[in-house]
Amino acid sequence: MTEAIKERNRLTLAALELTRDKNYHRLPQSEQVHLIKEVLNIGEEVAKWVSAEYGTSDPRALAEKLGVKVFGAEGGQIRGSEYRPGTPGEIVISRKLLDRLHKEVTLPDLSDRILRFVIAHELFHHLEKTRIGLVYKRFAFPGPFWTKWYIKGLSEVAAQSFTQALLGIEISPQVFDYLTYILFTCLRPD
């Protein structure tokens, strides 16, 4: 029963991510859960092969082996984290975000993993750009007049699944997205 609850929670968090995209609502409900499961599986599979190929599941070590620079940024130029493609690719993390997360998250198990969560998530976006292609583009569906509709949040869902599988954690790292939202929009600024 515990596994069923974990799976339901993963599906629910993924659906919450996708409900922000109007194109997700255009997809028939009967296809939504199937699509989410497929995208979650992509993230898991990528985590398996990348850790097997490079012999580690440590996001910092993987970033180094993949030639991706990881660094912090000060000031208002970045609020969270982002992957910047290029040669080499870069993962940029707001120092203010990390400081606030470490201040608010007092459980040692969680606070020690925060940086690893962030790096792993952005590392997936690097792999999308360099190795596997953009996940959301795999699932285009027809729009009006021969156009294609995309659900861009599918890449975020796959990145969360990748992070969860790579780090072997039971909770979705998406929880930290909500914590970040609360810290920067609902709580008083430092």
Question: For residue 157, what are its two tokens?
Answer: 């869902």
Is 146 inside any structural domain? no
Is 14 inside any structural domain? yes
What is the mean predicted confidence (pLDDT) over 14-31? 86
pLDDT at 173 over 50: yes
Is 80 inside any structural domain? yes
Structural Rg of the chain based on CA atoms: 17
Domain span at 175: 2-22+55-140+153-186
Contact predicate 120/165, CB 8 Å: no
Is 176 inside any structural domain? yes
pLDDT at 110 over 70: no
Is 68 inside any structural domain? yes
Q: What's the domain count of the chain? A: 1
What confidence category does residue 108 fall into, taking pLDDT thresholds of 50, 70 and 90? low
Is 66 inside any structural domain? yes
Residue 9 CA to its chain's centroid (Å): 16
- Among residues 186, 116, 124, 110, the alpha carbon closest in space to that of 160 is found at 124
pLDDT in tens, 112-155: 677 888 899 999 999 999 999 999 999 988 878 888 888 999 99
Is 41 inside any structural domain? no
pLDDT at 105 over 80: no
pLDDT at 50: 97
| Residues 118, 112: Cα–Cα separation, whole Å | 12
Q: 92 exposed, middle or buried (CB, 10 Å; 0-12, 13-18, 19+)?
A: middle
Note the pTM of the prediction, 2 decimals: 0.84
Is 111 inside any structural domain? yes
The lowest-confidence range among 25-39, 55-69, 86-100, 130-144 is 86-100
pLDDT at 72: 81
| Residues 46, 166: Cα–Cα separation, whole Å | 9
